[in-house]
Structure 1
Amino acid sequence: MDIISMVFSFLIGTAIGFVIAHSWNTHVAQQAIIKINNLFDRLWHQHTKLLQEMKQDMDNPDYKFQREFYILKKNQRFSLSLAKPCLAYFLDEHNGLQDQLKTLEAYGFVSNVTESSKNNFAKYQFSEKFVELLRNKEI
């Protein structure tokens, strides 16, 4: 076998390997997207009221870049010295709100970012993927 045939065979083999690897990675990525969408649809049906409210907030231009939110009781006094809008969800309006948030947290859709030294308010943060899923949800 001469050197030209070996180089040609190597290049062809490399190209075929690249195509196969790219196809496999595309397939795996598509399957992951399908799984996340199916999970989100299941969670939507289990937590419709909360997720609808969150979707409305994320669709509101005033909250376009807002990712943090607080958990409060309706009559609880709450004061922040922030210049930006603040999101809050109320325990009185959502049955088992803390348990619902634990479920969303378990799937990585929200994170508890409560700062224990500052106040007694539970503070959470939306993941970017969750915001994207909420904004793309057709009601």
Structure 2
Amino acid sequence: MEGLVQDFLYNLSLAVLTLLASIAIYGIKKMTDKLVAETNKIDSEEERGLIHDAIFRLDDVAEKTVKKIEQTVAKEMRQAVKDGVKSKEDLIELSKVAFNEIKKTMEPEYVNALKATLGDVDAYIRNTIEAKVLEIKEGAI
């Protein structure tokens, strides 16, 4: 009986986490859509094009970076955390690796365009990383 209750609570927890993650992805997608809509209001065609390119470039770089880390390190790291060999902080450290790779890869003109439009580019990059991780886990990309 106790095992049944534990299974139920575990499945309920997973369902709640999945729901929260889906809400987070939805929010990030809405934020991206809003950003694209805002850039459409910019008068300068060149500036608008640069911002659109920056958004899509960030999405592409984030997806490729997260997939690379997932393919090379993340699966084993999650299993090591589950087995108690590694700490959850080691797993969290992978998002910092992804963040640094993305920042290094992004062209300065794109980063500057995003700063002018978003303000906190670092937070946007971190949110994009989290969304990509979740998409990979759910098999969306």
TM-score range, shorter chain: 0.3 to 0.5
Q: Which has the larger radius of gyration?
A: 1
> Quick one: higher RCO (CA 8 Å, sep 6+), 1 or 2?
2
Normalising by the residue count of structure 2, what TM-score does the alignment of the two structures yield? 0.42
Whose helix fraction is larger, Structure 1's or Structure 2's?
A: 2
Whose strand fraction is larger, Structure 1's or Structure 2's?
A: 1
